[in-house]
Structure 1
Amino acid sequence: MTTAATAFRALGTTAEVVVTDPARLSTAAELLHEELAAIDLACSRFRADSEISRLHETAGRQVRVGPLLAEALGVALRAARVSDGLVDPTVGAAVRELGYDRDFAEVAGREFGFAATGRSQDGGSAGHDPGSAGGLAAAGRSYDLDVVEAAGCEFGFAGGFAAAGCSQDRDSGRDLAAAIGEPGSAGQARSGEPAADTGDFAPPTPAPGWHRVLFDPGQRLVVLPRGVRLDLGATAKALAADRAARRIHSVVGCGTLVNLGGDLRAAGRGPAGGWQVALADDHAGAVARPDATVALHRDFALASSGITRRRWRRGGRTVHHIVDPRTGDVPEPRWRTVTVAAKSTVDANTAATAAVVLGTGAPEWLARRRLPARLVGLGGDVVTTPGWPS
């Protein structure tokens, strides 16, 4: 089966779409552009004109948000619930205090993550360097990862996005702001380069907690407490991958793979043997391990989180973009990369990020949730959970 792909920069990363019918590639690319533009306008904390920025400006008051932001917020709150609070959208102030207060596109190198292999490229390299980890890698062996049976438990859900923590009475019409309490200080946002190391910063402060956000998904009503800043970075990109893959497949009718900087979602019938996905553990130029290639099948997802990308100096130390909501600081380092397979990109990304935060206890945590995963330690040691191909 002939496939075709194209890639472009979006959301501070590389966006790629691969289809099994080359004649459908142009339409698929247009649809991906539309989905990413919409999610950026709704959820970007770096845009003054985004809907989430306007939500921050109305903190403490009840606001009706648009359908896409409501979906993204529901996804983020659900992620917080199913991850036991290890992935929490109220880390926005903590992330900014660490110095990540602007888009990373200008300072980031090649994107960490995955690339589909063994297919034709539209327009040449499609933004990948074949000679480096995470690019187009020749796989030594291919393992069949059938997550239909492997991925499951509370994380495994197909289609739709359930909101979490939403017990408000949708019909009461009461002012949700009346129930809000004022949290403690979540830290002050500051401007400047993410790479700056001024030495002048506040001590880490735990995230206020996702349960402080009042959200009625039926009416799309939100009350964001004063002092709480949202960061949907842990889930919004993954949501975009899920939405885009489903929409593209429904329109073009052929097999589709969407890759947003390592957040992958397949939809429809893929190539024979599945989509060949080369995993990149180390983004410092090392060649991908010959056993680090898996076959992703229809309607399932892979996602990865790690600490080898998006790093900068702050207060005399190296920090990165993953924050432990319990401390407001970067987590104790144990894994440089965690890759998870699930029935949606949101679930896979949520679990991968939670595992980085959790550290040593991550393999057991993932196994209890029946999520196939591959964890690569700081020293290169590899740990897998049941269901991941050995």
Structure 2
Amino acid sequence: MAVSLKHRPTQRTTAAADWRALGTGVRLVVTDPALLDSCNLLLARHLAEVDAACSRFRQDSELAALDTTAGRPVQVSPLLAEALSVALHAAEATDGAVDPTVGSAMDALGYDRDFTLVQEDDRPVRLTVQRTPGWRTVHLDRATGTVTVPPGVRLDLGATAKAWAADRAATLLAEAAGCGVLVALGGDTAVAGEPPAGGWQIRVQDITGPVDETPAHGSYDCVGLHGGGLATSGTSARRWRRGDQNLHHIVDPRTGLPVRTPWRTVSVAAGSCAEANAASTAALVKGAGAERWLTRMALPARLVSQEGLVITTPGWPTNPRGAGNCATSSHRPAAA
């Protein structure tokens, strides 16, 4: 699907709901205010199903059950099979920069529970370079609905599952309600159905926190999203300290350690939120030259360096700050 980013004022009336699920902020916006409550109920049900299938932090989740399969092929639900398929496709599309086999590395860094609990734990960790097993070690047979995970390999779908859940929810709700729908899960936003006039106005910012608390001098853009998805990944939003180590949640599969990158945040627009998320996360891992990779992929993107320098790729609106009304949704760094 082609992605069109423009900036015109929003005219159609919308209604929004904000809450939390999957360890992040949830924002639902619909173009028919009368349908907001029913859409919100459907969204809550969908996200609960995703959590039960894909959570790395729930012992009763389907994903956690794969830890005990000892390399045997096991049947999984269609929902988990779809999430795994998206994760493996993201790994292939990014040359392994986004890899679902980083679960054990995340655990070793102390990110083994909900992030609010991670922040409260100050036990030291020992950082050692250890390449992750690699996504090619995982076999998914979509025809039989079976998955084979080698012994000792722990999966983490955090880099793709939220974006995929946003895509799936936006499409389901738009079809059910017959109106335009925006679903934002942290830094991942998907839209479906007929958009408001001028598109879904989204503020893309580089400083974590509510829009009204963002300094006036902070770096941000306001863009209109007409279809597909938009994702922002960064190394500043989810950080924690263990002993004398400052850590963050973007792991380099080549080392199993938090990535060292010249980019503070990367925002990407694509035909789906899952594609945008994979590309924005991969850009952080790829580091220097990521803007050239995104250009070759024909993905509109906005990269902000650690020093605050903003670089954009073809297709990203030039000088859009302050253009139009950015009230529909706010995009800030969040977990990938």
TM range (shorter): 0.7 to 0.9
Gapped regions of structure 1 (runs ≥ 5): 108-192
* Structure 1 residue 333: Cα displacement: 2.6
**Deviation for aligned residue 1:204:** 2.9
Q: 1:40 is paired with a residue of what secondary structure? A: helix
Distance 1:261 1:370 in 2: 24
Name 2:6's counterpart in structure 1.
none
In the alignment, the residues of structure 2 paired with residue 195 and residue 335 of structure 1 have an alpha-carbon distance, to the nearest angstrom, of: 27
Distance 1:62 1:290 in 2: 48
- Matches of 2:70 and 2:249 in 1, distance apart? 24
Query: What's the counterpart of residue 20 of structure 1?
Result: 31
Change (3 A) 1:87 1:200: closer
Q: Tell me which residue corresponds to 2:244.
A: 316
Quote the offset at 1:194 in angstroms: 4.9
Return the offset for 1:200: 4.2
Given that residues 195 and 314 in structure 1 are in contact (C-alpha distance below 8 angstroms), is that contact kept between their aligned partners in structure 2? no
Aligned position for 1:219: 144
Superposed CA deviations along residues 76-134 of structure 1, whole A, max 9, x for unmatched, are: 00000000000000000001101101011x35xxxxxxxxxxxxxxxxxxxxxxxxxxx
Distance verdict in 2 for CA 1:232–1:212, change over 3 Å: same
Which of the numbers 174, 181, 187 marks the counterpart of 1:262? 187
- Contact 1:59/1:225 (<8 A) preserved: yes
Matched AA of 2:224: A
In the alignment, the residues of structure 1 paired with residue 161 and residue 131 of structure 2 have an alpha-carbon distance, to the nearest angstrom, of 22
Q: SS of 2:59's equivalent?
A: coil
CA distance in 1, matches of 2:312, 2:215: 20
Could you say which residue in structure 1 is the equivalent of 2:230?
302
> For each residue in 1:2-25, what CA deviation from the matched residue of structure 2 results, as whole angstroms up to 9, or x when unmatched?
110001110011111100110010
Q: Does 1:233 align with 2:244?
A: no
Shift of 1:195: 5.1
TM-score normalized with structure 1 length = 0.75
Query: Matched residue of 1:360: which SS?
Result: coil
Corresponding residue for residue 97 of structure 2: 86
Which deviates more, 210-219 or 76-85? Answer: 210-219
- What's the counterpart of residue 203 of structure 2? 278
Question: Quick one: distance in 2 between partners of 1:293 and 1:272?
Answer: 15
| Percentage of identical aligned residues | 55
Corresponding residue of 2:15:
4
Q: Is the CA contact 2:110–2:125 (under 8 Å) kept in the aligned structure 1?
A: no
Q: Which has the larger radius of gyration?
A: 1
Q: By how many angstroms is 1:291 displaced?
A: 6.0
Partner SS, residue 339 of structure 1: strand
Equivalent pair of 1:101/1:194 in contact (CA under 8 Å): no
Distance 1:30 1:60 in 2: 38
Aligned twin of 2:333? none
User: Structure 1 residue 227: deviation in Å?
Assistant: 0.8
Structure 1 residue 335 and structure 2 residue 263: aligned?
Answer: yes
Shift in Å, 1:43: 0.3
Could you tell me how far apart the structure 2 residues matched to 1:2 and 1:228 are? 48
The Cα shift of 1:260 comes to: 0.7
- Are the aligned partners of 1:304 and 1:338 in contact in 2 as well (CA < 8 Å)? yes
CA distance in 2, matches of 1:350, 1:31: 26
C-alpha RMSD of matched pairs (Å): 1.5
In 1: Cα distance, 2:124 partner to 2:181 partner: 47
Distance in 2 (CA, whole Å) between partners of 1:32 and 1:249 is 11
- Give the whole-Å Cα distance in 2 for the aligned partners of 1:196 and 1:26: 37
CA positional deviation for 1:199: 3.3
For the Cα contact (< 8 Å) 2:32–2:179, is it kept in 1?
yes
Letter in 1 for 2:135: W
Which of 277, 280, 304 matches 1:349? 277
Kindly indicate whether the alpha-carbon contact (under 8 Å) linking 1:237 and 1:260 is maintained by their aligned counterparts in 2. yes
Report what 2:175 is aligned to: 250
Q: Which runs of 4+ in 1 moved over 6 A?
A: none
Q: Name stretches of at least 5 consecutive residues in structure 2 with no aligned partner.
A: 1-11, 319-336
